[in-house]
Structure 1
Amino acid sequence: MTRFGNGVHPPTVAAAVVVIVGLVLAGCTRGADETGTSGATPTPVPTTTATAPGVTPTPDPVATSEPTPTPTPTPTAPVFTSRIALIDDALAERMQPSWWPGCPVPLEDLRYVTVTYVDFDGVAQEGELVVHADVADGIVGAFARLYELGYPIRSMRLVDDFDADDDASMAADNTSAFNCRAITGGTGWSEHAYGRAIDVNPVENPYVRGSHVAPPAGAAFVDRTSAHGVILADDEVVRAFAAAGWLWGGDWERPIDYQHFSTTGR
Structure 2
Amino acid sequence: MQQSTVEEAAAESVTLKITAGGTPQPGKFFSDIGYFDISGTVSSGKAGERVEIYWYRVASKEWRRSLVLTTTDGGAFSGRQLVGHWELGLRFRATLGGNPAASEVVSSNEVKVDVRISYVRLNPIANVDALKSRRVTGYVYPARPGVSIHIDLKGADGYRLLMRATTDAAGTFSATFTQGTGELRSYRLRSGYVATNRGGDVVSPSRSFRRVAALNAVVTRTTAAEVAKTYRSGCPVGPSKLSTITMNYYGMSDQRMHRGVLIIRSSLTDEVIRGFAQALAHRYPVRKMNNPNVYGGNDPVQMEANNTSGFNCRKVVGNPYAQSPHSYGIAIDVNTVQNPYRDVNGRWWPKNGRSYVDRSPRRYGMLVYDSYLTRQLRKDDFFWGGLWSPGRDYQHFQYDR
What is the distance in 1 between the residues matched to 2:258 and 2:379? 23
Query: TM-score, normalization: structure 1?
Result: 0.70
Out of 351, 355, 373, the residue aligned to residue 216 of structure 1 is 351
Aligned residues: 205
Change (3 A) 1:183 1:111: same
AA matched with 1:199: D
1:68 deviation in Å? 9.7
DSSP-derived class of the 2:381 partner: coil
- What do the CA deviations read for 1:12-45 (whole angstroms, capped 9, x no partner)? xxxxxxxxxxxxxxxxxxxxxxxxxxxxxxxxxx
What is the distance in 2 between the residues matched to 1:78 and 1:231? 20
1:259 deviation in Å? 0.2
What is the distance in 2 between the residues matched to 1:248 and 1:118? 21
What is the 5 A alignment of 1:238-253? 238-253=374-389
User: Runs of 5+ in structure 1 lacking a partner?
Assistant: 1-45, 48-61
Out of 164, 177, 198, the residue aligned to residue 310 of structure 2 is 177
Out of 182, 185, 206, the residue aligned to residue 340 of structure 2 is 206
AA matched with 2:269: A
* Percent of pairs with identical residues: 29
Out of 160, 170, 177, the residue aligned to residue 293 of structure 2 is 160
DSSP-derived class of the 2:362 partner: coil
1:189 deviation in Å? 1.8
What is the distance in 1 between the residues matched to 2:293 and 2:357? 28
User: Runs of 5+ in structure 2 lacking a partner?
Assistant: 1-59, 62-86, 88-201
- Show the counterpart of 1:79: 214
DSSP-derived class of the 2:255 partner: coil
Q: 1:206–1:213: 8 Å Cα contact kept in structure 2?
A: yes
1:173 deviation in Å? 0.3
Out of 301, 315, 330, the residue aligned to residue 196 of structure 1 is 330
Higher relative contact order, chain-length normalized (CA < 8 Å, sep 6+): 1
- Show the counterpart of 2:233: 101
AA matched with 1:250: G
Q: Which runs of 4+ in 1 moved over 4 A?
A: none
DSSP-derived class of the 1:75 partner: strand
- Show the counterpart of 1:232: 368
What is the 5 A alignment of 1:26-41? none
DSSP-derived class of the 1:126 partner: strand
Query: TM-score, normalization: structure 2?
Result: 0.47
Are 2:205 and 1:110 equivalent residues in the alignment? Answer: no
What is the distance in 1 between the residues matched to 2:349 and 2:380? 26
Q: 1:142–1:243: 8 Å Cα contact kept in structure 2?
A: no
What is the distance in 1 between the residues matched to 2:346 and 2:381? 31
- What do the CA deviations read for 1:116-160 (whole angstroms, capped 9, x no partner)? 110011111111011101111111111111111110000001111
What is the distance in 2 between the residues matched to 1:245 and 1:143? 15
DSSP-derived class of the 1:73 partner: strand
- Show the counterpart of 1:59: none
DSSP-derived class of the 1:99 partner: coil
* Bigger strand fraction: 2
What is the 5 A alignment of 1:48-67? none
Flag the structure with larger Rg: 1
Are 2:276 and 1:140 equivalent residues in the alignment? Answer: no
Q: 2:213–2:281: 8 Å Cα contact kept in structure 1?
A: no
AA matched with 1:98: T
DSSP-derived class of the 2:234 partner: coil
- Show the counterpart of 1:263: 399
